[in-house]
């Protein structure tokens, strides 16, 4: 085959041009930087969240879970709500008690009064003067102690089982100086019977559940470090 010298010369020139272009531009390897985006909002090579190992993607929080700026917190309910009528003397007194003693709430008082009521009833039936002395004022203790002594002198004994308290309600309250006074009405169920020395039942019924209503008044000095209230009066329900 005959070769045209001109064709050989053109081929040689083309090879030289290709080699020069390759040395200047290089070849694509897949690691080239992407072209710059002059109108983009971020550099073209910025990584997306999650590209790097260990990256945490934070989701938007619930708007309601964050405190709303500029809004006043909802006012707390009055301490007497649920225990006294609005505008009543009882409501005003309960509010003043809470102001005088930051630890006082009607709920906590009622819970404590119910415990004291049950302890007094059971201690009296058992003739436990030591426990009664810590729960009663001196005058009330003297009356309970005298009844226990008379019962023991007659050879009587009491069998009693406390069933439970059906209702405990604040009926009245007063705050004179630092002396707070609260009158409670208890409606309870118990089984109680008093036996003579001979074994005969002289009061109550050892098998019957009776409903008993008591009205008791407790007092405490709200400035005292002693948090305990004492029973200062008992009376029959009106």
The pLDDT, as a whole number, for residue 43 is 45
Q: Where are the domains of the chain?
A: 89-235
Q: What is the pTM of this model?
A: 0.67
Tokens found for residue 126: 């058992």
Q: 89-235 sits in which CATH class?
A: alpha beta
Tokens found for residue 97: 């008690």
Q: In 3D, which of 35, 226, 228 has the Cα closest to residue 119?
A: 228
Q: Quick: pLDDT tens for 111-163.
A: 999 999 999 999 999 999 999 999 999 999 999 999 999 999 999 999 999 99
What is the rounded CA–CA span in Å between residue 181 and residue 185? 14
The pLDDT, as a whole number, for residue 38 is 35
The pLDDT, as a whole number, for residue 75 is 73
3-state secondary structure at position 206? coil
Residue 166 backbone class (left: φ over 0; alpha: ψ -120 to 50; beta: rest): alpha
What is the rounded CA–CA span in Å between residue 164 and residue 192? 13
Residues (pLDDT < 70) of the chain are 1-74, 238
The pLDDT, as a whole number, for residue 22 is 54
């Amino acid at each position: 085959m005959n070769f045209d010298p001109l064709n050989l010369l053109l081929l040689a020139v083309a090879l030289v041009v290709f080699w020069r272009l390759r040395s200047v531009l290089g070849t694509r390897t897949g690691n080239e930087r992407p072209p710059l985006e002059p109108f983009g909002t971020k550099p073209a090579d910025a990584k997306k969240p999650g590209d790097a190992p260990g990256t945490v993607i934070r989701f938007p929080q619930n708007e309601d879970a964050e405190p709303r700026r500029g809004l006043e917190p909802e006012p707390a309910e009055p301490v007497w709500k649920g225990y006294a009528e609005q505008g009543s003397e009882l409501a005003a007194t309960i509010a003043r008690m809470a102001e005088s003693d930051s630890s006082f709430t009607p709920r906590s008082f009622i819970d404590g009064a119910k415990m004291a009521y049950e302890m007094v009833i059971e201690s009296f039936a058992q003739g436990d003067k030591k426990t009664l002395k810590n729960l009663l004022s001196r005058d009330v203790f003297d009356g309970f102690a005298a009844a226990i002594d008379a019962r023991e002198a007659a050879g009587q004994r009491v069998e009693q089982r406390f069933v439970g308290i059906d209702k405990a309600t604040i009926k009245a309250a007063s705050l004179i100086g630092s002396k707070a006074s609260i009158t409670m009405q208890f409606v309870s169920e118990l089984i109680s019977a008093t036996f003579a020395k001979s074994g005969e039942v002289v009061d109550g019924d050892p098998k019957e559940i009776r409903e008993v209503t008591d009205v008791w008044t407790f007092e405490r000095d709200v400035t005292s470090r002693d948090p305990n209230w004492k029973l200062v009066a008992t009376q029959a329900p009106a």
